[in-house]
């Protein structure tokens, strides 16, 4: 892990070049052409209306391109500015925010937060930010059709009512249970400690410093000309309208691959290096078993090459997104699609390996 952290430091000190309308570094033309062929294979094989990709190496954005149609009905081409739902990659954004607050002394990852959320019944057990952000807090995930909710919530405080009455499902730290609602709770904690509403704080204190100019929280009433249409898995039918105000901090962001790559390379604009290490360190349960999840990052290891990978995927109604970083090789890959496509770590890692040499 020491090697992992040392090379990660190199990555986060670098800066991503400003994005344009199609970015292609001629130095990597051969690799880009190979990656294009694979992206075309994914797009064609699953009939994905559009895929957008950004690849960074050594802190520089070496390739960014959008393929296909953002809107099939109107035959609107996807561009680098086309915004996609990124689902649970929003958890990575929220985790970076918590890291910033930690550096500022506003939160302690290991302090009991139950006094801040008196409505939550933890059966007398303490609950920490580290446990919530690592999916060990016992907060439940979606039930029934909550993933496809159409209800408008006017605040995070209001959206807590979906799950807070259910309490926790187990003693924090004893199990791993993936939970978007755990991150909704973290979003409320961000509001409490900053004395600001989540949307305003994220816009001014997180997205702007990270230079994520094409990233916003989705609003049912927004008028966004660069927003993709979202399609079912076969890409033929638009998904029904949903309202994501029930999952702001856990899965409600719209973004672009270039912005996600920028987020990785510019992370030192808001968070200390050592704190980022905390987020990217796999947690352990009380019995000593590793969860493979830090705070907002999954951590994997390719044992064949002794290579560490940290990553996060996102699934949303009508969308799929994935973010992957190879710290030793200083590579970051972000891919977004406007259908519920079937790609993940294996597929995105194949793209990354093209750029290793």
| Structural domain of 345 | 2-354
Read off φ and ψ for residue 280, nearest 5 degrees. Answer: -95, 20
The pLDDT profile of the chain, 357 residues, written as one tens digit per residue, is 544 444 454 444 333 333 336 899 999 999 999 999 999 999 999 999 999 999 999 888 999 999 999 999 999 999 999 999 999 999 999 999 999 999 999 999 999 999 999 999 999 999 999 999 999 999 999 999 999 999 999 999 999 999 999 999 999 999 999 999 999 999 999 999 999 999 999 999 999 999 999 999 998 877 777 999 999 998 889 999 999 999 999 999 999 999 999 999 999 999 998 999 899 999 999 999 999 999 999 999 998 888 999 999 999 999 999 999 999 999 999 999 999 999 999 999 999 999 997
**Count of domains forming the chain:** 1
Q: Residue 223: what pLDDT?
A: 74
Nearest CA to 204 among 219, 220, 215, 193? 215
The residue assigned the tokens 């600001």 is: 196
**pTM to 2 decimals?**
0.93
The Cα-based distances of 193 to 77, 253, 342 in angstroms read: 42, 22, 38
Give the pLDDT of residue 21: 62
Amino acid 22: pLDDT: 84
Instruction: Write down the pLDDT at residue 353.
Output: 96
Give the Cβ contact number of residue 2 at 10 Å: 6
CATH, residue 333:
3.40.710.10
Q: For the chain, how far is it from start to end, CA to CA, in angstroms?
A: 22
- Residues with Cβ within 8 Å of 134's Cβ and at least 6 positions away in sequence, in order, are 176, 283, 291, 293, 294, 295
At residue 218, the pLDDT reads 93
Q: How many CA atoms lie within 13 A of 180 on its CB side?
A: 25
Total Cβ atoms within 10 A of residue 199: 17
Q: Which residue has the tokens 């929220």?
A: 94
Q: Are 132 and 185 in contact (CB under 8 A)?
A: yes
H or E segment at 334? strand 331-337
Is there a contact between 53 and 64 (Cβ–Cβ < 8 Å)? Answer: yes
Task: Give the separation between CA 139 and CA 326, rounded to whole angstroms.
Answer: 31
What percent of the residues of the chain are helix, what percent strand, and what percent coil, each to the nearest 5? 35, 20, 45
The most distant pair of C-alpha atoms in the chain lies apart, rounded to whole Å, by: 60
């Amino acid at each position: 892990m020491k090697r992992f952290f040392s090379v990660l430091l190199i990555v986060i000190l670098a800066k991503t070049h400003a994005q344009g309308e199609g970015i292609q570094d001629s130095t990597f033309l051969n690799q880009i052409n190979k990656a294009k062929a694979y992206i075309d294979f994914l797009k064609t094989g699953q009939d994905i209306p559009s895929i957008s990709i950004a690849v960074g190496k050594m802190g520089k954005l070496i390739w960014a391109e959008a393929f296909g149609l953002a809107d099939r009905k109107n035959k609107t081409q996807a561009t680098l500015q086309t915004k996609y739902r990124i689902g649970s990659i929003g958890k990575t954004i929220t985790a970076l925010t918590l890291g910033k607050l930690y550096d500022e002394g506003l939160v302690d990852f290991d302090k009991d937060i139950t006094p801040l959320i008196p409505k939550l019944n933890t059966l007398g057990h303490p609950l920490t930010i580290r446990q919530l952000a690592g999916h060990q807090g016992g907060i439940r995930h979606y039930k029934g059709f909550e993933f496809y909710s159409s209800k408008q919530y006017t605040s995070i405080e209001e959206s807590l009512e979906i799950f807070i009455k259910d309490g926790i499902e187990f003693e924090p730290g004893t199990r791993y249970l993936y939970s978007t609602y755990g991150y909704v709770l973290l979003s409320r904690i961000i509001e409490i400690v900053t004395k600001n509403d989540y949307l305003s704080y994220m816009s001014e204190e997180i997205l702007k410093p990270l230079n994520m100019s094409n990233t916003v929280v989705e609003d049912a009433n927004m008028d966004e000309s660069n927003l993709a249409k979202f399609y079912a898995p076969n890409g033929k039918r638009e998904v029904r309208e949903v309202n994501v105000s029930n999952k702001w901090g856990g899965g409600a962001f719209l973004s672009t691959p270039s912005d996600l790559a920028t987020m990785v390379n510019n992370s030192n604009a808001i968070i200390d290096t050592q704190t980022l290490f905390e987020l990217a360190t796999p947690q352990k349960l009380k019995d000593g078993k590793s969860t493979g999840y830090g705070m907002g990052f999954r951590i994997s290891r390719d044992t064949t090459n002794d290579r560490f990978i940290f990553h996060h995927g996102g699934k949303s109604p009508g969308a799929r997104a994935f973010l992957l970083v190879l710290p030793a090789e200083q590579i970051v890959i972000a891919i977004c699609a406007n259908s519920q496509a079937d790609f993940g770590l294996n597929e995105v890692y194949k793209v990354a390996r093209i750029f290793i040499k």
